[in-house]
Amino acid sequence: MTEIANANKLINDMLDFQKKNNIKDQCVTNSQVLYDMMKENTNLNVKVIPVIVDSYANGYYEICCGHLVVVIDEVEILESSYDILLMPERNYYKSIKEYLDKNNTNYIYKNKENLKELVEEFIDFTKIAEQMNKGKGFVNKKYFYPLTDYIMKKYNMDA
């Protein structure tokens, strides 16, 4: 099995854990676990990056201004958060400019407060990603330990 196939299996197991335990809003911890596992167990060039995720389906618009994902070679996005995967027809934007360029008629321009919130949240997640890539961990311990225990048992890994 290739390293990418192994990474996808790991992600599917993480998503299964989140689904079974109704875990939401934990992209920082999810990305930290995936990043750490991939850094330790693969030769892939991975890093954590902030993204904006939006979805427009069935007349309903949804946006997540602050979200983290792991990328391979700064190209392939690895989504490790079950709640984000539930968003239909997701679009990922790696910068505020990219988001605004592709959404120039969207609600974000109609309200300065929305734009301010988007910028502030994206900057916060950029800082978290930078620290994670430097080796500093950012986790919700209440969720981190059960998830890592689950993964380590599933893959027969030592602590």
Q: What are phi and psi of 105, to 5 degrees?
A: -105, 5
pLDDT at 15: 97
Question: At 51, which helix (H) or strand (E)?
Answer: strand 46-57
Residue 76 vs residues 2, 49, 57, 113: alpha-carbon distances, Å = 15, 11, 24, 32
User: Mean pLDDT by 10-residue block, N- to C-terminus, for the chain (159 residues)?
Assistant: 83 96 95 93 94 88 91 93 94 92 66 81 96 90 92 81
Q: Which residues of 49-74 are buried (b: 16+ CB within 10 A; e: fewer)?
A: bbbbbbbbeeeeeebbbbbbbbbbee
- For the whole model, what pTM was predicted? 0.90
Beta bridge partners of 48: 70
Q: 22, 137 in Cβ contact below 8 A?
A: no
